[in-house]
Amino acid sequence: MASVESAITPEVVEQHGFSPEEYDRVLNALGREPNLVELGIFSVMWSEHCSYKSSRLHLKKLPTEAPWVICGPGENAGVIDIGDGQAAIFKMESHNHPSYIEPYQGAATGVGGILRDVFTMGARPVANANALRFGRPDHPKMQHLVKGVVSGIGGYGNCVGVPTVCGETNFHPAYDGNILVNAMTVGVADQDKIFYSAATGVGNPIVYVGSKTGRDGIHGATMASADFEEDADAKRPTVQVGDPFTEKLLIEACLELMATDAIVAIQDMGAAGLTSSSVEMATNGKAGIRLDMNMVPCREDGMTPYEMMLSESQERMLMVLKPGKEAMAQAIFDKWELDFAIIGEVTDTQHMVLEFDGEVVCDIPLGPLAADAPEYDRPYLSKEDYTAWAGIAPMRERPDTDDVGGDVMKLLASPNLSSRRWIAEQYDSQVGADTLQTGGDAGVVRVHGTKKALAITTDCTPRYVHADPYEGGKQAIAEAYRNLCAVGARPLAVTNCLNFANPQRPEIMSQFVHALEGMGAACRLLDFPIVSGNVSLYNESKATGGGSAILPTPAIGGVGLIDDYEHMMTMPFKAAGETIYLLHAEEWATADPERSHLGKSLWLSEIHGRDEGRTPPTDLTVEKNAGRIVRQLIADGLVSAVHDVSDGGLAIALAEMAMAGGIGAEVEWNEEYSKAAWWFGEDQGRYVVTVPDTQALNEALAKGTENDETASIGFRRIGRTGGDTLFGNSVAAMRAAHQSFFADWMEG
């Protein structure tokens, strides 16, 4: 085998992210010293981003199956049955580190990458969503980061022609030096036209399509698997550069070829580029792969095999075609003005062999690269030790309020509860003409040509996860479930993006393990399996001088189905004179002074500057049954508006419904609670509904519930819609306060 110039010194090994033990494993796998190409390939495939070496052990414990799950984790995206021979295909991915370094391109290529994960399986993308976390608004870099990320998401998604229909944005000092940009795409395909990534058929041609390979994004996967040092800006060359117009062409060309019978397997070139795509295809097909690196389309002169294999240039795909289909496939890609090159073939060696200038420059057995990559059982703290380490204790004393209206105005104007209109206006939410709802509890898009609609939401409450990873993990799933139920959708499945700090710290690993336990418990009880996802670790930064870890942020993407979009529900108050009810656990009808209703609440933080108390508990049985009742109320036409109660508590839920509908309300306080606990407590499992005909509701309730469990959900009349005020504030004044944060920050 040809030697590739560059001696493998301990320094070179360390630069590639290997521990001494891992490098020993490389030596054992090869039976010799690797050359630089081989070392680079092992480096990216064994990075956290590609190998999940710190998380695989625990990810296996998550529930991933249900009768409607067609394909769970392990492929490019998850696939679920949505009836009539159709499938929804979706996934969420992170692009955190690149977005901090170069916010526009980092966010844009995050959107591009997740789009490719979905359409590579044969789906036409129909909706995008995102989950964003930023640091303090007064941080000197934060305005630049927010503007860049939002522009990047909008710029790419809008150009490709896929609507962005929902998302969430949080601010917290823990993200000062390490923002989070999580992107989600949902697509629709016919079940008999789904494509997978397993390369089979010895001798079948391997084809490269899309854009040419450049030197951008080299070692992007490795960079995404390390925390930030002070020199974060020096990593700018590891950020990819995207072209959404090429992506649009690539989508259309791939879907056109997919309509033929030419494709055996297909994989997008995402993290680790040509390396990961070829390794995954060969591994999934239990085959081998031979590539001629001289045939790889390059946009720069003199590129080496090392650069070609590790580049993360965007808008590229790898395919295995059936023999004899090459000319037809090339004609399609020529028509769309995209590169097409036969660069290799499938073999039976179970090795990756690369040739360049007539010599073998890489020969690696595939087993050690993928299936046999390192897997670590990192040490972690018990729940009790974690609580002690994090300093989480019950609240010292529970403050109250004598100015509910004033507190509402302050909360509406605060960064974490302010209107996201400034962000949403930069995204095209209507392209495709199938968007039915944005700005509510979930985005809703029609399944084109049918009466069906998909509901989509992204959710997580990191402050809850930090205070109690197990309860916080449960809550993240439960809130996604609630948001889907609130629009009338049947929740079907989850994707996630698990953003955590350094897993080599036992307290951080404790966050990860216990959050997954909570998520798993919630998914099992709610019949809400996890079908795809991503893990992003080492999200902490020395760049701000603090060595700060992010809050644990297991972002959840939920997808549900509305059988007939005529029954879709929205949150605005619809008319004056309707009765407002609070749905809640029957056992919570009486205040429990021991329960920390205000613990970790935004009211406590924003009004009193206190971050204390415990995470509100999530009763999964209550969540399941409350959701079932809400969906039935919607189906029976008994409610005119629905909104789940989350950040800011009942008062903010009511304010959001009033502002959205332009109608006020008279509401009543349950005097068994303090005013603060009643209006601003963040108890889980609750919905606000408006009822046009209380007699019809009472008649329905008089029939009784279907079982003892559903009887655990109570209805409390809390007021009536009408007028133009709420809590003594005009609806117009609330709207002005609500929109003031971004207007003052970005435009002031």
Element (H, E) at 291: strand 288-292
49 is catalytic: yes
Residue type, 244: P
Write down the catalytic residue from 16, 49, 58, 172: 49
Cα dihedral value 509, 511, 513, 514, nearest 10: 150
Q: Where are the beta strands (DSSP E) in 46-123?
A: 69-71, 78-81, 86-94
Instruction: Determine the 3-state secondary structure of 519 from DSSP.
Output: helix
Q: Is the dihedral of CA 142, 148, 151, 156 positive or negative?
A: negative
Residues 617, 620, 622, 624: is their CA dihedral positive or negative? Answer: positive
Of 525, 536, 396, 389, the closest CA to residue 466 belongs to: 389
Reported in sequence order, the residue ranges of 335-419 that DSSP labels E, i.e. its strands, are 339-347, 351-356, 359-365
β-sheet bridge partners, residue 345:
205, 290
SS (H, E, C) 405-433: HHHHHHHHCCCCCCCCHHHHCCCCCCCCC
* Nearest-angstrom CA–CA distance, 591 and 609: 24
Six-digit token string for 544: 């701000």
Which of 16, 58, 95, 97 is an active site residue? 95
Q: Which residues of 611-640 are buried (b: 16+ CB within 10 A; e: fewer)?
A: ebbbbbebbbebbbbbbbbbbebbeeebbb
The kind and range of the H/E element at 718 are strand 713-721
Pairing of strands 78-81, 86-94: antiparallel
From residue 380, how far is each of 93, 370, 509, 512 by CA, in Å?
A: 25, 25, 5, 9
Reading phi first (left if > 0) and then psi (alpha if -120 to 50, else beta), residue 327 is in alpha
Catalytic residues: 49, 95
